[in-house]
Amino acid sequence: MTMTETIVEEMNVRWEGSWGASKSEKRTMTFNIGVNDERTRGSFESYDQDGGYYAEGGLWFRDNELVDYDGVCTLSRTVLVQLAEWDFEVEDMMRVLYKE
pLDDT tens, 8-27? 999 988 877 777 778 888 99
Cβ-based neighbours of 12, under 8 Å, separated by 6 or more:
24, 25, 26, 27
Distance CA 67, CA 91 (A): 11
pLDDT tens, 33-88? 999 999 999 999 999 988 889 999 999 999 999 999 999 888 999 999 999 999 99
Distance CA 39, CA 65 (A): 9
Q: Which of 42, 43, 45, 7 is nearest to 28 (CA)?
A: 7
Band (96; pLDDT cuts 50, 70, 90): confident
